Chains A and B, each alone.
Chain A
């Protein structure tokens, strides 16, 4: 018996992944400080590196139809080791989700509503995500294309509105930075927007048909990567050298929009887009976390855990970091290290072990 009865089709998976990656748009700011004007190529390189790994997730999900990550781990690594690996994943989900919730809070407190207490945004935001999660993955899947379209609309419209201020010579010289910085940048990009899609191993089991899954996953990933690329190109072309000093280059470049002194102060655009997209990403993450924990403890339904876990996430988000500086430091340096095994090692390894051991041997759906 699975704890989720809802089904999604592969079309919805495409938009879920695209929206999920788009949700990290503000997070490329972590990379910009390191890779400056070469961010665009770092994004492409990150995509090239993580795409095969992400496609291996699909292969894994196809091999274990109807199962989620925790069930797969149990089956591949045995009951105890499998539980340990799942715990590691749950730790990753808890941390990543709290980072993202914190991002929303920081966005609002820094740019939109300075006087409102930080914790207020976290609570309201987490409550909204929790509400979405109680509706189940089917509902999220059905609305996913709306989120992606909203994101694309904002990204493309801001790009067009800023075209007159773009200076494409800002991308020159093409190769300048020392390789170690590019490497760190690629590492960050391949983990933060792309590698986090490992969470979809909890969702892919709900696919009704898996035949187009590989193609659709790749396509969704490409839409997400393209959005990131457009944003990175826009920021570099508009801000040039200064893009490294702003707290949020995206916000700053949109504040520069000035069309005939009429179309100005478009800050709300990114406020809307960011809230909507990060909401989508956090809802997915919360869903994944809740399902993973309930699966680990063998619950019949994940609903009782939604609110408690959302509450825990708020507390983690509010207390783990002292300041945005701390947040950026930890994400840039520590966060990308502990996620490497989860993103790049375990899923392909599981696939390999499953192939060698000829798994799954049991009839599907018997595991708890």
Chain B
């Protein structure tokens, strides 16, 4: 009897509490009250030295329309760049509510763009909020603007509706050229925590073309101790990616064996292996790269699809790759920044010697020797087996 009463009381209490849980009113945020942020820019306010935060907010009523009938209202923009200043990022995020009437909803934030001045000052103190805020995803991209982040967020792309989405798409498709790579918040934080590795972040610039502004990723910037120290161009970044084995695809141009034209190859597959070695006190990095490509274009009448030609092209390709790697290494020596993560590689292999190396890493890094071994192979010629030219005698 008592058991029955207790259990019915228990059920009653449970049901009572479930009433609260099931309403879902607490902390509810309806979609029309949300200020959905898809991109954020962080700049330095030129006048006060405070942080100038630009948040790209989706306009709900225009966002649903197709880009054709944007004539309906206003300037046809589907986004609103709202900015505010504050002493810290979070302060600025909250100050925005003076303008938006609601707090920002940053779960869908695609990219965070830091202005040039902020990057030079050091990202360490600004990145904390983006990792700590519970609405922020660790997969959000991180970028640096060549000048001001707010300008980048203002440049309206032609096909996409939202500049921030456009930038995310640009970065996402890096695989076609491997001229830069995607860096998200977690990757960047991971590099910042390393005592030696210099993080890289894609650099976005604006080009003025006639009457429209285009955004493009012009390379990557290197950081050291959280501060921006220099820029790497497309080839240098690919040189880096060869070593890291992160090259997805891309175009390699080599002179054709008869030197009349060019052979254009598309990178199909890349494998790389880096083995550090400490020999007689000097550090040698053995870099072994295996590359496979396809012949995608040729600008000469000579038939390149022969064993002889392949051999020459493969040699030339290896040379091009080697040059790209050397360009990256020269640059990193010039900046004295360990963009390759050689320090971490040594750390993992020689953990006992690492303790002494770590403290003088800045002096040691430029003296690291490299042993580069590139192996290339052409695996297909796509739809043609001979070039389009008047048939001649096969040599």
9 other A-B residue contacts (CB within 8 Å) besides A240-B190, A241-B190: A111-B134, A127-B13, A128-B14, A131-B11, A131-B14, A134-B6, A134-B10, A241-B193, A303-B3
Would you call B26 and A242 a contact (CB within 8 A)?
no
CA distance A115 to B193 in the complex (A): 32
Report B355 CB to chain A, min CB distance, Å. Answer: 10
| A272 nearest CB across to chain B (Å) | 15
Q: Are the CB atoms of A113 and B27 closer together than 8 Å? A: yes
Complex Cα distance, B42 from A138, in Å, reads 59
Contact B20 A120 (CB under 8 A): yes
Q: Is A226 part of the contact surface with B, judged by Cβ < 8 Å? A: no
The answer to whether the Cβ of A157 comes within 8 Å of any Cβ in the partner chain is no
- Could you tell me if B138 and A256 are in contact, using CB atoms closer than 8 angstroms? yes
Chain A residues near B14: list those with CB within 8 A.
127-128, 131
Contact A127 B17 (CB under 8 A): yes
Binding site for B on A (CB under 8 A): 110-111, 113-116, 120, 123-124, 127-128, 130-131, 134, 169, 172-173, 175-176, 239-242, 245, 252, 255-256, 258, 264-265, 303-304, 306-307
Residue of A nearest to B355 (CB): A176
A114/B27 in contact, CB under 8 A: yes
| B194 in contact (CB, < 8 A) | yes
Measured between beta carbons, the chain B residues less than 8 angstroms from A124 are 17-18, 21
Separation of A264 and B349 alpha carbons in the complex (Å): 35
Q: Are B26 and A115 in contact (CB under 8 A)?
A: yes
Q: Which residues of chain B from 336 to 395 have a CB within 8 Å of any chain A CB? A: 347-349, 351, 354
Q: Does B173 contact A (CB under 8 A)?
A: no
Cβ B139 vs Cβ A134 within 8 A: no
Q: Which 7 A-B pairs have the closest CB atoms?
A: A115-B27, A173-B351, A172-B348, A241-B193, A242-B190, A124-B17, A242-B189
A-B contact pairs, 5 of them (CB 8 A): A111-B134, A127-B14, A173-B351, A240-B190, A242-B189
Q: B137: CB under 8 A from chain A?
A: yes
Beyond A111-B134, A114-B27, A134-B10, whether A258 also contacts B351 by CB under 8 A is no
Q: Is B207 an interface residue (CB 8 A)?
A: no
CB A325 to nearest CB in B, in angstroms, measures 14
What residues on A are CB-neighbors of B17 within 8 Å?
Answer: 123-124, 127
Is residue B31 contacting chain A, with contact meaning CB distance below 8 A?
no
Determine whether the beta carbon of B2 is less than 8 Å from that of A303: yes
B225 within 8 A of A: no
CA distance A307 to B8 in the complex (A): 13
User: A2 CA to B7 CA in the complex, in Å?
Assistant: 22
Q: Is B234 an interface residue (CB 8 A)?
A: no
Look across to chain A and name the residue whose beta carbon is closest to the beta carbon of B11.
Answer: A131
A242 adjacent to B134 (CB under 8 Å) = no
Tell whether, in the assembled complex, residue B351 and residue A245 are in contact, meaning their CB atoms are under 8 Å apart. no
Complex contacts, B193 vs chain A, CB 8 Å:
241-242, 245
Question: With an 8 A cutoff between CB atoms, is B186 at the interface?
Answer: yes
Whole-angstrom distance between the alpha carbons of A124 and B7 in the complex? Answer: 16
Residues of B within 8 A of A172 (CB): 348-349, 351
Q: How far is the CB of A241 from chain B (nearest CB, A)?
A: 5
Cβ-defined contact, B348 with A131, below 8 A: no
Complex contacts, A239 vs chain B, CB 8 Å: 186, 190
- Chain B residue with Cβ nearest A258: B139
Report how far A255 CA is from B137 CA in the complex, Å: 7
Q: Contacts A115-B26, A124-B17 hold; do A255 and B351 have CB atoms under 8 A apart?
A: no
Residues of chain A within 8 A of B190, CB atoms compared: 239-242
Main secondary structure of the interface of B (DSSP, over half): helix
Instruction: Assess A116 versus B26: contact at CB under 8 Å? Given A239-B186, A241-B193, A258-B139.
Output: yes
The listed residue (B10, B11, B348) touching A173 by CB distance below 8 A is B348
Residue of chain B at shortest CB distance from A252: B138
Instruction: State A242–B138 Cα separation when bound (angstroms).
Output: 11
Q: How far is the CA of A306 from the CA of B13 in the complex (A)?
A: 14
B347: nearest residue on chain A (CB-CB)? A173
Least CB distance from A123 to B in Å reads 7
Residues in chain B near residue A242, CB distance under 8 A: 186, 189-190, 193
In the assembled complex, the Cα of A115 lies from the Cα of B20 at a distance in Å of 13
Instruction: Please name all residues of chain B whose beta carbon is closer than 8 Å to the beta carbon of A255 when the two chains form the complex.
Output: 137-139
CB distance from B271 to the nearest CB of A (A): 15
Distance of A172 Cα from B139 Cα, bound (Å): 25
> Given the complex, which residues of B lie within 8 Å of A258, measured CB to CB?
139
Structural contact, B139 and A256, CB atoms closer than 8 A = yes
When C-beta atoms are compared, the residue in chain B nearest to A128 turns out to be B14
Which residues from B are CB-within-8-Å of A169? 348
Q: How far is the CA of A80 from the CA of B190 in the complex (A)?
A: 56
Residues of A within 8 A of B21 (CB): 124
Q: How far is the CA of A241 from the CA of B194 in the complex (A)?
A: 8
- Which residues of chain A are near B27, meaning CB under 8 Å? 113-116
- State the CA gap A127–B21 with chains docked (Å): 13
Inter-subunit contact A131/B10 (CB<8 Å): yes
Least Cβ distance of B88 to chain A in Å?
19
A252 CB contacts on chain B under 8 angstroms = 138, 186
Known contacts A114-B27, A116-B26, A255-B137; A134 and B347 CB within 8 A of each other? no
Q: Which B residues between 125 and 153 are near A, CB-CB below 8 angstroms?
A: 131, 134, 137-139
Closest to A130 in B: B10
Minimum distance in angstroms from A106 CB to a CB of chain B: 13
CB proximity of A32 to chain B, nearest CB, Å = 14
Q: Give B195 Cβ to nearest chain A Cβ, in Å.
A: 10
Could you tell me the distance between the alpha carbons of A335 and B49 in the complex, rounded to whole angstroms?
47
Chain B residues contacting A114 (CB-CB under 8 Å) are 27, 134
B112 to nearest A CB, angstroms? 16
Chain A contacts for B194, CB-based, 8 A: 241
Which residues of A are found within 8 Å of B3, using beta-carbon distances?
134, 303
Residues in B with CB closer than 8 Å to A256 are: 138-139, 186
How many Å from the CB of B173 to the closest CB on chain A? 12
The interface residues of chain A lying within 8 Å CB-to-CB of B189 are 242, 245
Write the nearest CB–CB distance from A260 to chain B, whole angstroms: 11
* Cβ–Cβ < 8 Å partners of A265 in chain B: 137
Q: Please report the C-alpha to C-alpha distance between residue A258 and residue B351 in the assembled complex, in whole angstroms.
A: 33
| Minimum Cβ distance to chain B for residue A119 (Å) | 12
